[in-house]
Chains A and B, each alone.
Chain A
Amino acid sequence: MIELLIYAMLFIGITFHILGALGLHRFSDVYMRLHASTLCTTFGTIFIALSAITYAIMFSSIQLAAHSAFAVVFVMIAGATGSHAIARAAYRSGIKPIIALDDALSKVEK
């Protein structure tokens, strides 16, 4: 029964990773690409690490589970921080979003 859980979480993680890579390849703007890649790769890493943690607890390898948990906590912090920094830098370097109807940030920032 727990094998089916491991297979399902592995499948969900791989699907999110492939969707993130395809979104990074197919979207037409910096901000849309950033949204697709950051969101999908963070969520896919969470599910793949959950599958590895479940396998490690099932075979009583606590070290593997602890290191995977630390990796996924680091990815959850670093992915959000890095994507925010890149979006702010891309806006400040002069790249405008192409299909935005009203650029509200241009009225605020000097």
Chain B
Amino acid sequence: MIDLFIFFAAAIILFLAMAISILRAILGPTIADRVISVDASTTISLSAFILLAVFYKQVILIDVAIVYAMLSFGSTLYFAHYLGEKHD
């Protein structure tokens, strides 16, 4: 029998990694650094939500994480369009 607490501990470690990757959004020199940091922290929080859904036995947490990742993907594409166009 597997212990379910290992999934909760793994989610806590993932939130720690998310805090490290948020640090780049605060002190990154360019806009592209901040966009990359937000994208990476969203992907890390999606896998943390998968682990929390296994721990609490709630499947709806994965749906919340999927919608969150879709919104982050749209904002990433919008920032890329904003950065890449020529401002003449």
Contact = CB atoms under 8 A, between A and B. Distances in A.
Interface residues of A, number: 49
Interface in B68-88: 69-70, 73, 76-77, 79-86
B77 A85 contact: yes
Contact of A20 (B21, B53, B85): B21
Among B2, B7, B32, the one with the most A-chain Cβ atoms within 10 Å of its Cβ is B32
A32 B23 CA distance: 17
Nearest to A67: B62
A34 B36 contact: yes
Interface of A: 3, 6-7, 10, 13-14, 17-18, 20-22, 24-25, 30, 33-34, 37-38, 41-42, 44-45, 48-49, 52, 55-56, 58, 63-64, 67-68, 70-71, 74-75, 78-79, 81-83, 85-86, 88-90, 92-93, 95
